[in-house]
Amino acid sequence: MGSQRTAAVLVAGLLVALIGHSAANCPERNLEDREDEANIVLTGTVDEIINMDPVHNTYSCKVRVWRYLKGKTSVSREILLDGGNKVMIGGFGNPGICDNQVSTGDTRIFFLNPAPEYMGPEHKNELMLNSSLMRITLRNLEDVEHCVEEMDQEDDRVVNQWNKERKATFFWYHFTLSQLL
């Protein structure tokens, strides 16, 4: 009885060590940074897996878009597929991204950027994973929406401050000119 308990504790400790070790090998940036670095954040379901590269173990997916959380205006008509509700996403299997594997039918939150030009013309109208995928839960959706809203509010604050400074400068010039005339 005692030896079974000892064995169970050892196995549990080994599992914790292995899980902790694998998480340490792939540290994930915080959500605010991930959202900030992505031009496009959307929810979608993987419809089809294509362009599998057996050498690099990477692939692309055709994803049905359910909702844009950020960057809808950044998605040009050329990027949209099948009547405008699907996009091509690459970067799956990229070892630089922690959670980067999907199966057909998986619904996730995707953090994306347009494919860079150096990837060549075959990726011209493709979006690329920017960071790990997130499972869709109410909490995850709320957290991502909160990050997007904070960035929108920060952008509004910057624009408002710029407008105030511009108005102050205008009034200063106007006042100075009226004093000179």
pLDDT of residue 86: 93
- List per-block mean pLDDT (blocks of 10 residues) for the chain, which spans 181 residues: 54 45 66 90 95 88 95 86 90 91 95 86 86 93 90 55 61 60 65
138: CB partners within 8 A, 6+ apart: none
Q: How many CB atoms sit inside 10 A of residue 52's CB? A: 12
Give 3-state DSSP helix, strand, coil % of the chain, rounded to 5: 50, 25, 25
Non-local (6+) Cβ contacts of 35 within 8 A are 41, 70, 111, 144, 147, 148, 151
Domain ranges in the chain?
29-136
Indicate the CATH number for domain 29-136. 2.40.50.120
pTM of the model: 0.69
